[in-house]
Amino acid sequence: MNKINSLKEYKEEYRKSIDNPEAFWSKKAESFTWKKKWEKVLNWEFETPQVEWFIGGQLNITENCLDRHLDTKGEHIAIIWEPNDPNEDTVRITYKELHKRVCSFANVLKRNGGKKGDRICLYMPMTPELAIATLACARIGAIHSVVFAGFSARSLEDRINDATCNIIVTADGGYRGAKTIELKHIVDKALETCPSIEKSIVLKRTGGKVTMKSGRDVWLHEELEHVNDICPAETMESEDALFVLYTSGSTGKPKGVVHTCGGYMVYAEYSFRNVFQYKDGDVYWCTADIGWITGHTYIVYGPLLSGATTVMFEGVPTYPDSGRFWEICDKHQVNLFYTAPTAIRALQACGKEFVNPYKLTSLRVLGSVGEPINEEAWHWYNDEIGKGKCPIVDTWWQTETGGIMISPLAGITKLKPSYATLPLPGVQPCLVDSDGHEIEGNDVQGNLCIKFPWPSMIRTTYGDHERCKQVYFSTYPGKYFTGDGCRRDEDGYYRITGRVDDVINVSGHRFGTAEIEAAIDEHENVVETAVVGYPHDIKGQGIYAYAICHNVPTDMEAFVVEVNKTVVEIIGPIAKPDKIQIVMGLPKTRSGKIMRRILRKVAEGEVTNLGDTSTLLDPSVVADIIKGAGL
Ligand code: PRX
């Protein structure tokens, strides 16, 4: 079903998808269960923008993830859950059980006032209940907004309020390596200023002490005693929202990227099956958290739509030791493994002794996602983990694209380390110069845009369509702008070179520099900050903050601790700066704009080739900054 088997077939499929996208995607969509077939395949324009796929079609994505597999795969394992602590039991959930548990959870949501169109926030550890809650929302037609459980109360509060969620599902706590995170406390703090929340449904995971607010907070296990496991799937229009997921951009607060039911479903399944070359019976493991888009599309929806066995891991790669990933691969005989370059680099740095004890013979395909994979990490992954036998799919995509856009198809596309290679069928990338002119031909470099809609593309930014237009469709009119720089080599292969905007990618997590600056600025001794990314051996990019202070701190160590604390409170531990430099001034132009180019160079350790500094209001600050950096 919908599977490409050779390079020749890929080329044919690609050509068909360009010649007649509507016929192409219509055919792919036919393999799903629709409650009512669509009347028109596609409506689009990239100005407003307005994009609609499978118009008039009605469906429920959970019927496609669950119900339609019951006859043939009811006893097949849908989810293998591997706990943080290797001594705790693995949980295996069949499709039949998952169906029941999703229906029961859906009834709990209904019992607590959840209904079609509501926004429901999920702030949970990586337990099976997170996947179940996600699907339960979709079952009743509520829009899920999963917030990564490493975000702070402030970040959670912002996201809940932006989407005016009426229910939050959380847990007493969560385990991550040696740490226990007290999620319910964080939620309680956030909810002090979230008037839209009526109910908080709490999973008991750690057994830690929590306060339950009467009338608002309920225990999941108690609620489950009051419901049965039958819940008909709500009828959804193809273009009804399925979920909102917050992500950072160059400016302002994170925005809620909205994906819709029909197109997202078709593309999630198609891309999963083809990129990983999934075969019936394969065990597939994506190490991401469901709090990110990778988890949405390639832990939950893509694999379950395909009837696969998907592994969910609660913990971290280095607990109890740095062999954990490989131990899990052997334990569950994982065939398809998908992780991020930052994890690969971190594990590479720990040494081979953590890999050697494991056989890794079940592995057939390796994947990479989230940031450029450097050649050294690529080769280590290929040689030490894949033993030279597993194709590596370097998958380029974004929260906004919903699914993988540029990637090899495993075992089909000829690989080239650090290249995402070729677009998937239906994806029409182009490179543009700074004036927006399309750069034709090969062996060229430019800004990466997509010039034709694909089914799982962003539809809007929640509550603010104008922002969607401004951010993605205004820079280069008529095109979706990705924010990434890209090279197309002599073979027509694409290599993503990194962000060209003020977004930094730290360990595969996206942050706007403005967002981190705003957090640091909240420290009482800070007057102004400028944040840039710099190359970091493990994280890909590190966070370098230049700060002007009211009083130059006498104890720099204590100041760093305090700034970190502020950032952790406002965003979360993942946004802590790696380096902080106190400066007397920032390199500003006469119009007041910070020349980040200079700050980036200094952060990289470069003192020459700083470019033209003549437009600076006070060029002398540059020499001070270089001196302060110890260069
Ligand atoms: O810069 C690109 C980088 O991650 C950005 C998207 O981040 P996010 O929305 O958080 O989604 C990450 C997971 C899909 C992109 O704009 N990126 C993602 N994958 C790659 C990549 N950069 C290079 N190579 C990749 N394979």
Token pair of 630 as six digits: 């110890």
By most ligand atoms within 8 Å of CB, the mutation choice from 496, 504, 539 for ligand 1 is 496
Residues in Cβ contact with 569 at an 8 Å cutoff, skipping those fewer than 6 apart:
152, 153, 154
Residues of the chain with pLDDT under 70: 1
Q: Whose alpha carbon is nearest atom 22 of ligand 1?
A: 371
Strand (E) or helix (H) holding 202: strand 199-203
Residue 391 CA to residue 614 CA, distance in Å, equals 50
How far apart are the CA of 370 and the centre of ligand 1, in A? 4
Q: Whose alpha carbon is nearest atom 15 of ligand 1?
A: 398
Q: Whose alpha carbon is nearest atom 24 of ligand 1?
A: 372
Residue 453 CA to residue 50 CA, distance in Å, equals 10
Query: For ligand 1, is residue 398 a contact (CB within 6 Å)?
Result: yes
Query: For ligand 1, is residue 394 a contact (CB within 6 Å)?
Result: yes
Residue 67 CA to residue 34 CA, distance in Å, equals 12
How far apart are the CA of 369 and the centre of ligand 1, in A? 7
Atom of ligand 1 nearest to the CA of 496: 23
Query: For ligand 1, is residue 401 a contact (CB within 6 Å)?
Result: no
Contact 276, 365 (CB under 8 A): yes
Residues in Cβ contact with 326 at an 8 Å cutoff, skipping those fewer than 6 apart:
354, 355, 357, 358, 360, 385
Atom of ligand 1 nearest to the CA of 288: 13
How far apart are the CA of 215 and the centre of ligand 1, in A? 42
pLDDT at 444: 98
Residue 628 CA to residue 631 CA, distance in Å, equals 8
How far apart are the CA of 11 and the centre of ligand 1, in A? 25
DSSP 406: B
How far apart are the CA of 421 and the centre of ligand 1, in A? 14
How far apart are the CA of 372 and the centre of ligand 1, in A? 8
CA distances from 331 to 93, 341, 385, 505 (A): 16, 23, 15, 32
**pLDDT of 33-88, one tens digit each?**
999 999 999 999 999 999 999 999 999 999 999 999 999 999 999 999 999 999 99
Query: For ligand 1, is residue 395 a contact (CB within 6 Å)?
Result: yes
Task: Kindly write down the DSSP assignment for every residue of 78-94, as one continuous string.
Answer: EEEEE-SSTTSPPEEEE
244-253 b/e (C-beta count within 10 Å ≥ 16 → b): bbbbbbebeb
How far apart are the CA of 404 and the centre of ligand 1, in A? 10
85-107 b/e (C-beta count within 10 Å ≥ 16 → b): eeeeeeeebbbbbbbbbbbbbbb
How far apart are the CA of 33 and the centre of ligand 1, in A? 31
Residue 37 CA to residue 282 CA, distance in Å, equals 31
Query: For ligand 1, is residue 370 a contact (CB within 6 Å)?
Result: yes
How far apart are the CA of 531 and the centre of ligand 1, in A? 20
Q: Whose alpha carbon is nearest atom 3 of ligand 1?
A: 371
By most ligand atoms within 8 Å of CB, the mutation choice from 255, 297, 301, 369 for ligand 1 is 369
For residue 490, with 0-12 CB atoms within 10 Å meaning exposed, 13-18 middle and 19 or more buried, which class applies?
exposed
How far apart are the CA of 64 and the centre of ligand 1, in A? 27
- Amino acid of residue 334: V
Query: For ligand 1, is residue 484 a contact (CB within 6 Å)?
Result: yes
**Residue 580 forms beta bridges with which residues?**
545
Query: For ligand 1, is residue 499 a contact (CB within 6 Å)?
Result: yes
Task: Identify the architecture of domain 507-628 in CATH.
Answer: 2-Layer Sandwich (3.30)
Dihedral sign computed on CA atoms, order 12, 15, 20, 22: positive
Query: For ligand 1, is residue 372 a contact (CB within 6 Å)?
Result: yes
Among 303, 311, 301, residue whose Cα is nearest residue 259? 301
> Quick check: helix, strand or coil at residue 106?
helix
> Quick check: helix, strand or coil at residue 65?
helix
How far apart are the CA of 398 and the centre of ligand 1, in A? 5
Query: For ligand 1, is residue 371 a contact (CB within 6 Å)?
Result: yes
- Amino acid of residue 33: T
pLDDT at 612: 83
Among 134, 102, 112, residue whose Cα is nearest residue 121? 134
pLDDT at 2: 78
Query: For ligand 1, is residue 247 a contact (CB within 6 Å)?
Result: yes
Query: For ligand 1, is residue 483 a contact (CB within 6 Å)?
Result: yes
CATH superfamily for domain 7-316+395-486 = ANL, N-terminal domain (3.40.50.12780)
How far apart are the CA of 412 and the centre of ligand 1, in A? 22
State how far Cα 411 lies from the chain centre: 25
Query: For ligand 1, is residue 322 a contact (CB within 6 Å)?
Result: no
Instruction: Return the domain boundaries, the chain.
Output: 7-316+395-486, 507-628
Place of tokens 């106190």: 582
How far apart are the CA of 29 and the centre of ligand 1, in A? 26
> Quick check: helix, strand or coil at residue 561?
helix
Phi/psi at 121 (5° precision) = -90, 135
By most ligand atoms within 8 Å of CB, the mutation choice from 250, 398, 539 for ligand 1 is 398
- Radius of gyration of the CA atoms of the chain, in A: 24
Among 211, 185, 193, 234, residue whose Cα is nearest residue 60? 234
Residue 38 CA to residue 148 CA, distance in Å, equals 34
Atom of ligand 1 nearest to the CA of 373: 24
DSSP 223: H
Query: For ligand 1, is residue 119 a contact (CB within 6 Å)?
Result: no
Place of tokens 């590596």: 392
Contact 254, 246 (CB under 8 A): yes
DSSP 594: B
Query: For ligand 1, is residue 199 a contact (CB within 6 Å)?
Result: no
Contact 586, 528 (CB under 8 A): yes
Q: Whose alpha carbon is nearest atom 4 of ligand 1?
A: 370
Residues in Cβ contact with 436 at an 8 Å cutoff, skipping those fewer than 6 apart:
475, 476, 477, 479
